[in-house]
Structure 1
Amino acid sequence: MKKMMKLHRSVKYRVFAGVLGGIAEYLGWSPNMVRMLFFAVIILSAGVTLPMAMLAYLILWFVMPEATPASYA
């Protein structure tokens, strides 16, 4: 997997909006590992962070631009 130059929402590894896939591509990690880490934090915090995590995901969905072919250069 090529590392992205800028943080963008992933086109290749999206489930909903591509936010976690884009973070994984930017860091050079597996998208599944980032998703599992995201949900593990929510579960281990007994759901306390669920509203915060959902809000953060929604904000990132609207703030992060969608990846273009130039994003993978």
Structure 2
Amino acid sequence: MTTAQPASSAPRLTRSRSNAWLGGVCGGIAERWGWDPTLVRVLFVLSMLLPGPQVLIYLALWIIIPREPAPVIPVQP
């Protein structure tokens, strides 16, 4: 017997196709939580002034977070 799982209403975290500058990580984070993509990018750049593995974290997120699916374009018969 199988039971249907309820559909998740929260959007998934994906790398953005429309708000991508480099890998779409900042754009995807902004879209997921409803923030301005420019704000997320500025905060990331400002975090680069602090010591830490920011670039490595960005690269890891680029690899781990899946790419947003391409939009489906209906075919005209």
Kindly state the Cα deviation for residue 40 of structure 1 after the two structures are TM-superposed.
1.1
Of the candidates 39, 42, 47, which is equivalent to residue 41 of structure 1?
47
Q: In the aligned structure 2, how far is the partner of 1:62 from the partner of 1:26?
A: 17
Kindly state the Cα deviation for residue 11 of structure 1 after the two structures are TM-superposed.
0.4
Instruction: Tell me: higher relative CO, structure 1 or 2? Use CA pairs within 8 A at least 6 residues apart.
Output: 1
Whose helix proportion is higher, 1 or 2? 1
What's the C-alpha RMSD, in Å, of the aligned pairs? 1.7
Kindly state the Cα deviation for residue 31 of structure 1 after the two structures are TM-superposed.
0.4
Q: Which has the larger radius of gyration?
A: 2
> Structure 2, unaligned stretches of length 5 or more?
1-9, 73-77
Structure 1 length normalisation: TM-score? 0.77
Deviations 1:24-64 (A, max 9, x none): 10010010000001111222x2xx22xx1111111111110
% same residue: 39
Q: Which runs of 4+ in 1 moved over 6 A?
A: none
> Structure 1, unaligned stretches of length 5 or more?
none
- Count of aligned pairs: 62
Of the candidates 18, 26, 29, which is equivalent to residue 35 of structure 2?
29
